[in-house]
Structure 1
Amino acid sequence: MGSLIPFPDLNSVPDPTTTAAAAATTITPTLIPKLEPKLEPFDEPPPQPLAQLHPNSTHPNPNLNHSTQNPLDETNVYSEFNRISELFRTAFAKQNVDVSDPAFAAQNAADFLDPNPLAIVAVPDQNDQQVTLVPPKRRHQPRSSELVRVLDLGLEDQRYFRDLVRKTRMIYDSLRIFAEEKRRQLGLERRTAARGDLKAASVLRDRGLWLNRDKRIVGSIPGVYVGDLFFFRMELCVVGLHGQSQAGIDYVTASHSSNGEPIATSVIVSGGYEDDEDAGDVIIYTGHGGQDKNHSRQCAHQKLEGGNLGLERSMHYGIEVRVIRGMKYEGSPSGKVYVYDGLYRIYYSWFDVGKSGFGVYKFKLVRIENQPEMGSSILRLAKSLRTEPLSVRPVGYVSLDISMNKEKVPVLLYNDIDSEHDPMYFEYLTTTVFPPHVYHGGNGNGCACTSGCTDDCLCAAKNGGEFAYDQNGILIRGKPLIFECGTNCHCPPSCRNRVSQNGVRNKFEVFRSRETGWGVRSLNLIQAGSFICEYAGVVLTREQAQLFTMNGDSLVYPNRFADRWTEWGDLSQIFSDYVRPEQPSIPPLDFAMDVSRMRNVACYISQSSSPNVLWCKCSVLGLRYTEMELRQTLGHNFLLPQFPDWSRA
């Protein structure tokens, strides 16, 4: 198990003699600035109070209130981390024992930790404080001011925390989509109801499901990797990567610090300040305050206080900060994407005159070496590959479209490792080939919708009384089987219930990997719950499969795929009366699929112990197997050759 290392009192660290940052503190601004948080463009407002989401309850899960919920309950999604934190807290408490007696100290020397464990801010003993006012209990867990580092995580620990982050993000995404769909059904406009991303964050906070609330972590967050992508600002708060819903600098305030000095832990770089300079590994970061929100320019001098002072103090004590870049992205539902680019050290800080003529504080951030490639760099590379792949990679492309124009978007084939060109020798399929008797064109069981299916049509009834997809084609929650409209339905091809029939919509690249052989990555960011592609092949009956097996041919058996559809949209931790969908029922999967001669891009999706893809069963006048992408791990895994963790299981 890894170690949670607290930090000693910063008062024990000597101040430097004379620095540029210290000299800057003596400058007295001639104007009184407006001290405002460093807001970033297109940032979301903080989450609103929880409102009714579930149709069968006046309040989601009223029996679960954080004020009475045991934080160490093993059923809690974060119970294990709380348990570990408590173990280390009690271990560090040994430092408070009086060891003035030499005999006692020698006898118990092994039980005491190093009194200087490279710490930042120690939390004072609450028993020594005089409590004069008892504030009202809050429904959600308050954020801790104790600063720790998480070190020496073993392989099992890394998998545990990675899976914890993945599951938390799945709950957030599915709850967000659920809230948006409920708002649409109620006919609420955006201006009259909170957005789904804010609502989901508020619900998770009230349920105590925000991560890293009991400790303020300095450095890397367990389970969050360099290159992780987030479509919404509130996701950063949910996983504990950046705790401010609007401000660009996250820091421990002076009032919560044992030495009365603020300490910065993370920053968001979005280019919102005119004096910012971003060169990737080196950033000239402008402090907050004194900005005209309407014109994104300075209108007053900045002061060395709040987040600005936190950055200066982090520089003074050599504390690294996490850097998250906010980038505009057309494919994002929020219009932006946030990517975690790793740890940076603050080397210099100074007071300067900005472009608008007002005094600003600047900080030089330099990226720490030996970290994975920045996700922001990979996003820019993927954008170039979508338009001009040969200009970016002149060597390595075997084919610019192995589908031979059968797909709506080309499927690239890239190999810069060896001379293997195996995917070129298969006939590319865009849809599964079924035996003729599977289709029943004259059964007349389609819906009568002419302009698009409604919530009360026949096809909705087949899906258990509700459609599986929202208006944007996003899977709302997993189902044992999804019925899509077929040839007997009167609805147009643009119907919301024909998602898998529209084919591939993202640009994929089949690539050669040293770890898995062949893998698939996307050059587009794919929103959680979106359709990826159909698993296409030739369907064989049981008798045909037996003959093929006797001849030594290798077949794919759908009934052996991992049944993980329940993970998407499982809101049992949110709603006490949540019931897992049991309809439509699953027919017996007593057939096989032959992909030895005819296949599509799905056959190259590699296996992984931490997959970011789920498969769902979909029926369109027969059984059609589709892949539903769920962004359970890194969004950048679609782009990085060293992380080919797409999986069909």
Structure 2
Amino acid sequence: MEGNNTVHASDSVDKSRIVEVKPLRSLAPVLPKNIQSCFPAKYPSGFPPFYSFEKPQEIPLPKEAEEIPVDAETAEEIPVVSAKETTRETPLAAKVTPIRFYKSSVDEEVNPRADGDVNSFSEGLNGDECVDSTRKRGTENIQNCKEFLKRKKNKKTREVAGDGQSSNIGVNPSRNADGDHESVNRVLMTFDSIRRRLCQLEDSKELNSSHAIKRADLRASNALTCKGVKTNLRRRVGVVPGIEVGDIFFFRMEMCLVGLHGQSMGGIDYMNIKDGSKEDTVALSVVSSGVYGDDTEDNDVLVYSGQGENFNKKDKHVTDQKLQRGNLALDRSAQRHDEVRVIRGLRDATNRSAKIYMYDGLYKIQDSWIERGKSGGGIFKYKLVRLPGQKSAFATWKLAQKWKAGSASRNGFILADLSNGVESIPVSLVNDVDDEKGPAFFTYFMSLKKPKPFGLVQPSFGCNCNKACIPGDLNCSCIQRNEGDFPYTANSILVSRKPLIHECGPMCRCLPNCKNRVSQTGLKQQMEVFKTKDRGWGLRTLDPIRAGSFICEYAGEVVDRAKVCQNGEGDDDEYIFDTSRIYQPFKWNHEPGLLEEVSSNVPSEDYTIPSPLIISARNVGNVGRFMNHSCSPNVFWQPVLYAENNQSFLHIAFFALKHIPPMAELTYDYGFVLAGHAEGSSAQRRKKKCLCGSAKCRGFFG
């Protein structure tokens, strides 16, 4: 491995750049003061064992504190183990405070280097302008939970959703301790739906100032924690059920809620375990933010910096990191040859102050040493090597970045821009499967060709806003048509599926960059059309995509429904989109019971389309024509209406159903026609065998 961060005997390195290099296990343990140890005169090879210390005094809990639920942002800053378990192995055991009396350090100024790979608290902001970097969320979360308990006490018999649906909130109780793919998806989608709704409310100033919080992700996490909407509560070494290598997260709290990484800020997650007759501290996962020189040229190697200060600003003197907490856990995991989960953090290209986290799989600690930091203090370094045979994740992301920048040659590369300049972001064409040089000829077009107007009870002739439409401005006619809600957050994320979304259009007086024109401005992510192994051409993204992000419009020619029914003109057209098909129902909007104070405005997810719309993209279309079918898709469609030339036109816009990692194929549900058609009818002929490979595959589509 190249680079000056890794040191072991077999490497040839410039050791003059590493001051006082020592094996990590040669360090003496840091023991609490006034604790009598009983180590033997000689230690076996490796790190000397700790023996039982004097039992610390119990700290009485205030009655008020006993009623406060444990919160992910406060309690999970330390391992969820009893004080008795912790005293055996952790040098700070004599000072351990019971978890429910634990005061979050975020009530004080947070030092981004105070906990090794700890991210500054602003790294949890991820794009919504309703967010700011307040660090006072510890007491706010406690206050929110206390308010929830008060409401619950006053309304003991009240059902959460108001109609007896409390059992539908959260995950199956059997999946609380050990999750699966379905429970993980449900928790993540529930979290993000609440976060989007809170951002919408904050943008429109609908929240009361006493309840307002700029960190919508923290309030969403708090709501789920208070209601017990979490999964994988059983802490474990190794694989976390339901989470796949390559999954991405836009907020740390998402990882906490699904059990991937239990620390809302700390870079090292660890716990105490029993190993025969003794107890040990082991590391579970690490988050590498890529800001401490952790990355190497080898994407399967991570050189991780330990946690703790190496410069005391108060006393103005250099200090060394201590072999305690996460550092001690990593050392013990190295001795035990345990697997450690690694989460990589990368800057969000759309918001440079935010991070996106990718689960990169299981690693093992191969080497460890001490290195002098810039301040002169000693820093623990750990070399983690990725276990072979795992799906490529971080390496694929880095490769996609090189392809975007044009700095890497590609196997099967055909064309730099399939759109021929129509899109502001180029769409590359790639085939590394066979010798086909490209799809059949078509004309690239960003929207509908020759659309037909749709009659409405109240025709839409545009709003009279002078600049841009402002969320919460009920004088805006477009906001009125959306039942008083602005459909998108400040960073253009769709808040909720609705029967019909009314966007501003060419007839509106607001500026062209109005946030209510999301579906009319073309691609936002860089994509490529590629040849699949068994499903023809497909579409995938080179960028990470957040849930609710606009993907593209389904562009093409509007087809007369009567001709399709009478002559079967669409039977051989593989590029037909038909709003009258049956689509698998799913829930994407927020649960009202999780936000009791704002539970009155939950839009229906059943589409209301003035009349059926059929679009053919065979001869004219955009990248939407290349999206394949899946019974478990990551994209969904939403009807959008806006006015042009004194008439209203319906469009089909696609949005991300969930977070989508780079190089993932984009798919949506093609739906199927109504049952009951006679054998040999056009409906039967259009049915095709499904090859999506999903666990929920229904076997056919069309």
Residue 327 of structure 2 aligns to a residue whose secondary structure is helix
Partners of 2:512 and 2:666 in 1: how far apart?
33
Q: CA deviation at 1:402?
A: 1.8
Partners of 1:583 and 1:63 in 2: how far apart?
28
Contact 1:398 1:413 survives alignment (8 Å): yes
Deviations 1:435-458 (A, max 9, x none): 455599x96732222212242111
14, 23, 42: which one aligns with 2:120: 42
Partners of 1:498 and 1:474 in 2: how far apart?
12
Partners of 2:189 and 2:238 in 1: how far apart?
24
CA 338–443 in structure 1, closer or farther in 2 if over 3 Å, else same: closer
AA aligned opposite 1:501: Q
**Structure-2 residue corresponding to 1:5:** none
131, 154, 176: which one aligns with 2:195: 176
**Structure-1 residue corresponding to 2:58:** none
Deviations 1:182-237 (A, max 9, x none): 22322999998341122211211111112222x10211111111111112222221
Q: CA deviation at 1:47?
A: 5.1
1:262 aligns with 2:262: no
Q: CA deviation at 1:618?
A: 0.8
1:206 aligns with 2:226: yes
Deviations 1:265-316 (A, max 9, x none): 1111224446886743223323212334989x99311222211111111122
549, 554, 571: which one aligns with 1:535: 554
1:639 aligns with 2:663: yes
**Structure-2 residue corresponding to 1:562:** 583
621, 627, 630: which one aligns with 2:657: 630
CA 271–395 in structure 1, closer or farther in 2 if over 3 Å, else same: closer
Partners of 2:630 and 2:186 in 1: how far apart?
16
Contact 1:429 1:537 survives alignment (8 Å): yes
Contact 1:532 1:629 survives alignment (8 Å): yes
Q: CA deviation at 1:345?
A: 1.0
How does the TM-score come out when normalised to structure 1? 0.73
**Structure-2 residue corresponding to 1:224:** 243
Partners of 1:367 and 1:585 in 2: how far apart?
46
CA 24–599 in structure 1, closer or farther in 2 if over 3 Å, else same: same
349, 368, 376: which one aligns with 1:349: 368
402, 416, 420: which one aligns with 2:432: 416
Partners of 1:203 and 1:59 in 2: how far apart?
9
Partners of 1:406 and 1:639 in 2: how far apart?
23
1:303 aligns with 2:292: no
1:25 aligns with 2:28: yes
Following superposition of structure 1 onto structure 2, how do residues 376-415 of structure 1 map, counting pairs within 5 Å?
A: 377-388=395-406, 391-415=407-431
Unaligned runs of 5+ residues in structure 1 are 1-18, 86-149, 151-159
Deviations 1:107-142 (A, max 9, x none): xxxxxxxxxxxxxxxxxxxxxxxxxxxxxxxxxxxx
**Structure-1 residue corresponding to 2:514:** 495
Q: CA deviation at 1:470?
A: 2.3
AA aligned opposite 2:382: F
Partners of 1:624 and 1:593 in 2: how far apart?
10
**Structure-2 residue corresponding to 1:592:** 614
Contact 1:398 1:414 survives alignment (8 Å): yes
CA 28–352 in structure 1, closer or farther in 2 if over 3 Å, else same: farther
**Structure-2 residue corresponding to 1:95:** none
Q: CA deviation at 1:645?
A: 4.6
Number of residue pairs matched by the alignment: 536
CA 262–177 in structure 1, closer or farther in 2 if over 3 Å, else same: same
Deviations 1:39-66 (A, max 9, x none): 434344595434999xxxx85994499x
Contact 1:46 1:246 survives alignment (8 Å): no
Q: CA deviation at 1:378?
A: 2.2
Contact 1:276 1:286 survives alignment (8 Å): no
Residue 622 of structure 1 aligns to a residue whose secondary structure is strand
Q: CA deviation at 1:263?
A: 1.5
Residue 171 of structure 1 aligns to a residue whose secondary structure is helix
CA 60–518 in structure 1, closer or farther in 2 if over 3 Å, else same: farther
Residue 216 of structure 1 aligns to a residue whose secondary structure is coil
AA aligned opposite 2:284: T
Contact 1:350 1:363 survives alignment (8 Å): yes
Residue 217 of structure 1 aligns to a residue whose secondary structure is coil
Partners of 2:427 and 2:221 in 1: how far apart?
36
Partners of 1:253 and 1:611 in 2: how far apart?
39
Q: CA deviation at 1:516?
A: 2.7
Contact 1:263 1:311 survives alignment (8 Å): yes
Partners of 1:207 and 1:257 in 2: how far apart?
36
Partners of 1:585 and 1:612 in 2: how far apart?
19
Contact 1:464 1:583 survives alignment (8 Å): no
Following superposition of structure 1 onto structure 2, how do residues 56-455 of structure 1 map, counting pairs within 5 Å?
A: 62-63=151-152, 75=168, 77-82=170-175, 161-186=180-205, 193-213=213-233, 215-253=234-272, 259-273=278-292, 279-292=298-311, 299-332=318-351, 335-351=354-370, 353-354=372-373, 356-375=375-394, 377-388=395-406, 391-435=407-451, 438=454, 445-454=461-470, 455=473
**Structure-1 residue corresponding to 2:532:** 513
**Structure-2 residue corresponding to 1:90:** none
**Structure-2 residue corresponding to 1:617:** 639
Deviations 1:600-634 (A, max 9, x none): 111111222321111111112121111011325xx
Partners of 2:590 and 2:326 in 1: how far apart?
38
Q: CA deviation at 1:597?
A: 1.6
AA aligned opposite 2:629: Q
CA 378–274 in structure 1, closer or farther in 2 if over 3 Å, else same: closer
CA 551–580 in structure 1, closer or farther in 2 if over 3 Å, else same: closer
Deviations 1:523-561 (A, max 9, x none): 222222111100112112222223551585434322215
Partners of 1:203 and 1:372 in 2: how far apart?
34
Contact 1:540 1:593 survives alignment (8 Å): yes
Deviations 1:128-166 (A, max 9, x none): xxxxxxxxxxxxxxxxxxxxxx8xxxxxxxxx8223222
CA 609–348 in structure 1, closer or farther in 2 if over 3 Å, else same: same
Partners of 2:398 and 2:293 in 1: how far apart?
22
Unaligned runs of 5+ residues in structure 2 are 1-21, 33-90, 93-110, 125-134, 161-165, 643-647, 672-702
Q: CA deviation at 1:384?
A: 1.9
Partners of 1:64 and 1:393 in 2: how far apart?
64
CA 26–179 in structure 1, closer or farther in 2 if over 3 Å, else same: closer
Partners of 1:61 and 1:231 in 2: how far apart?
32
Residue 524 of structure 2 aligns to a residue whose secondary structure is coil
Partners of 2:290 and 2:385 in 1: how far apart?
17
**Structure-2 residue corresponding to 1:112:** none
CA 222–625 in structure 1, closer or farther in 2 if over 3 Å, else same: same
Q: CA deviation at 1:321?
A: 0.6
Identity of aligned residues (%): 34
Contact 1:615 1:648 survives alignment (8 Å): no
CA 424–411 in structure 1, closer or farther in 2 if over 3 Å, else same: farther
Contact 1:612 1:631 survives alignment (8 Å): yes
Q: CA deviation at 1:572?
A: 3.6
